[in-house]
Every structure is written in C-alpha cells, then in structure tokens.
Amino acid sequence: MDQALAHGSARFITFEGGEGVGKSTQVARLLRRLEASGVDAVRTREPGGTPNAEAIRTFILQGRSEKWGAASEAVLFAAARLDHVTNFIGPHLDAGQWVICDRFQDSTRAYQGLTGGVDEQTIGSLEVLALDGRTPDLTLVLDMDPEAAFDRVNARMIEAELAETGDRFEREDLVWHHRLRENFLSIARNNPERCVVISADQSEDDMEETIWRIVSARFSDRIGPDNE
Ligand SMILES: Nc1ncnc2c1ncn2[C@@H]1O[C@H](COP(=O)(O)OP(=O)(O)O)[C@@H](O)[C@H]1O
Ligand SMILES: Cc1cn([C@H]2C[C@H](O)[C@@H](COP(=O)(O)OP(=O)(O)O)O2)c(=O)[nH]c1=O
C-alpha cells in the first residue's frame, strides 16, 4: 500500500545525522511550526520513546552491550524500534497525529550497518521486522563536518559548566565520525524520494526556515496557507 495512504492524513518525519548536528533542536522547532499551523503532532526519539525502548537505550548507551559487537547491538536497536513502532508511532499515526522522530532506521543502517560492518541483508531483515510497514514519509538528514559539530557541543557544555564525558558512540574517534557522515550521505543518495540533506552549518533560525520550507512544500496538501 502507498505509505501516505497507510498513514491516513498524518505524516511521519524522521531526523537523522551524526552527533551534535542539531537534530533535537530542529525536532522541537518543527513541532512548534506544525502546531502553529494547526497540525496535531507529537515528537519522539530513538532509541527510546516507550518504557521498554528507553530501558534498551540506557543499556546500550551506558556501553553495556559494546562487547557484544555491532550485530547484537543492531538486534537491540531493532527490538527497541519494534516496541516504539507498535506502542507509540503506529497508534499516533493511526489517530491522525503527525510523528516527528529524532533518529530512526537510518541510524541503524549508518552506525551498525555501513560503519559497524553488519551486512546489508541482516540490516534489511531487521528493518522489515522493526518497521512493520511504517516507513517515514520524509527523512531530513542534517549534515556537517563532525569536528565543527563537536566544537559546537563542547562550547555549549563549557557555557553550561558541564563536564564532557560522552556516551558510547560519542567517544569514537574522528575518522569513525567522518565515515559515519559519508554513510548518512550515501543513505540519502540511495533514497532520494524519502531523504533530503540539509546543511547543519547554519544558524538554528536559518535551519528552521530551510526545514519549514521543505516540509510545507512537500505536504502542502496538509499544511495549507489557510492554516498559517
Ligand atoms: N544551528 C546551530 N548552531 C549552533 N549551535 C547549535 C545549532 N543547533 C544546535 N546547536 C547546539 O549544539 C548542541 C547540539 O544540538 P542538538 O540539537 O542536541 O544536536 P543532536 O540532537 O543532533 O545531538 C546543543 O548545545 C545545541 O544548543
Ligand atoms: C537509533 C540508533 C541510535 N544509535 C546511536 C546514535 C547515537 O550515538 C546514540 C543515541 O544517542 P543520542 O544521545 O540520542 O545521540 P544524538 O544526540 O547524537 O542524537 O545511539 C545507533 O547506533 N543505532 C540506532 O539505530
């Protein structure tokens, strides 16, 4: 079935990209813009979004699954995603609410698959299981040089007087993060109907405007000028 029809009138939008590129910031801003246009929307994140998936998130990000290897971690992320799709994303879309998700299946493809070395067939099978047909209508891939993204995050941490430790994936070296960036770009190139790459090397306000232009143009049938 056409995915747009499968979701009814609601739309499913995901944000993807490396660490610190501004995904959470823009998820919050897009939600505000949608609400201001009269669209009923909810935000969520991965791994997480339901109590079971949040438990898996804590387990992985504390590094407790690291020794198990990328394939086992891909299975854990898929288990969290299946619970999230079944108990949060699917029900909200079916109720007519748009769902805006901070990371989704492309993160498993980029981190565990292309960067972590888990083969395409395994990633594909896990994706079929976990998504249960809920492919995003639009994926915004935020892209910037990982060094610049880390500088930005560190500057904010110093401003807020927070100690920098980083979770399991943030502690990987820069070469790894450059490879990750290339892998997100290659996923976007391979899925041109679904993915749009956005430069994250702009101010928060400019990024918000760019994203709003893309979302409102793509879903102009749902976000009419009458609602602005
Ligand atoms: N466009 C931007 N320019 C400068 N700093 C930004 C921008 N977007 C986000 N930030 C800051 O960078 C840090 C990471 O942003 P965040 O939205 O949490 O990224 P992510 O969810 O991709 O990890 C935060 O401290 C945030 O305030
Ligand atoms: C959803 C998902 C996340 N991850 C990783 C990416 C992040 O390093 C981490 C999620 O932590 P998070 O703090 O949400 O990262 P960020 O703020 O950069 O979005 O989990 C995977 O490796 N595979 C996945 O399928």
pLDDT at 225: 55
CA angle at 54 for the pair 96 and 36, rounded to the nearest 5°: 35
For the chain, which residues make up each domain, given as ranges? 3-217
Q: Considering every ligand atom shown, identify the ligand nearest to the alpha carbon of residue 84 and give its number.
A: 2
Q: What is the ipTM of this complex?
A: 0.97
CATH placement of domain 3-217? 3.40.50.300
23 carries a ligand binding annotation: yes
Question: Each residue of 24-82: pLDDT tens digit?
Answer: 999 999 999 999 999 999 999 999 999 999 999 999 999 888 889 999 999 999 999 99
* DSSP secondary structure letters along 64-133: TTGGG-HHHHHHHHHHHHHHHIIIIIHHHHHTT-EEEEES-HHHIIIIIIIIT---HHHHHHHHHHHHTT
Question: Span 8-34, mean pLDDT?
Answer: 96
**The ligand 1 atom nearest the CA atom of 15:** 22
Question: Each residue of 158-199: pLDDT tens digit?
Answer: 777 776 667 767 777 889 999 999 999 999 999 999 999 999
- Measure 27 CA to ligand 1 centroid, in angstroms: 11
| Any ligand 2 atom below 6 A from CB of 57 | no
Residue 49 CA from chain centroid, whole number: 12
Q: How confident is the model at residue 4 (pLDDT cuts 50, 70, 90)?
A: very low
- Measure 210 CA to ligand 2 centroid, in angstroms: 24
21 carries a ligand binding annotation: yes
- Measure 68 CA to ligand 2 centroid, in angstroms: 17
| Any ligand 2 atom below 6 A from CB of 116 | no
Percent of the chain with pLDDT over 70: 92
- As a whole number, the mean pLDDT across the chain is 92
